[in-house]
Amino acid sequence: MSEQDLTPVFQIQRMYLKDLSLEQPNSPQILLEQQQPQVDINLAMAAAPVADGIFEVSVTATVTTKLKEKTLFLIEAKQAGIFEIRNVPEEQLQGILSIVCPQMIYPYLRAIVSDVCTRAGFPPIMLTEVNFQAMFEAQQAQAAGNGGMLTGAN
């Protein structure tokens, strides 16, 4: 095996919009309301192997906007990327999948959410910057606090 065969590889193969939905279940009546809506934003990340050394990483944003108890609009957008990651130590792989890849995907997701809001006739919602490293470290600390177990089954 040559030294070149062990050279670490990290390449973006593709970025793409995997899923997108917009719902305005109470339109048009709710559009006549003149109150400030309540906005709730949730983020989720996922990473999965696709083939040897190839991984799909996705970041999903769910934006729910309500007036009183009625939904004004709901946006769910999932931006994904396919990454080639080879010859990287296992202890570094999780950090790359949980920090580096989502940081590359997130700006695309922010733009999509803002664009969908505007196209739906609402002011754009700008998702704030996210510290994926802090999120990863918090997940690691939580897993360590659970004895390393992420599931309740033994």
CA 20 to chain centre: 12
Predicted TM-score (pTM) of this structure: 0.85
CATH class, range 16-140: alpha beta
Q: Tell me what pLDDT residue 102 has.
A: 97
Whether residue 154 is predicted with pLDDT greater than 50 in this model: the reply is: no
**Averaged over 64-83, what is the pLDDT?**
95
Average pLDDT in the chain: 90
3-state secondary structure of 95: helix
Tell me the CB-side half-sphere exposure of residue 104, using CA atoms within 13 A: 19
pLDDT band of 4, cuts 50, 70, 90: low
Domain chopping of the chain, boundaries:
16-140
Q: What does the pLDDT look like over 94-149, one tens digit per residue?
A: 999 999 999 999 999 999 999 999 999 888 999 999 999 998 888 888 888 875 54
- Has residue 55 got a pLDDT over 70? yes
- Phi-psi region for residue 86, left (φ > 0), alpha (ψ -120 to 50) or beta? beta
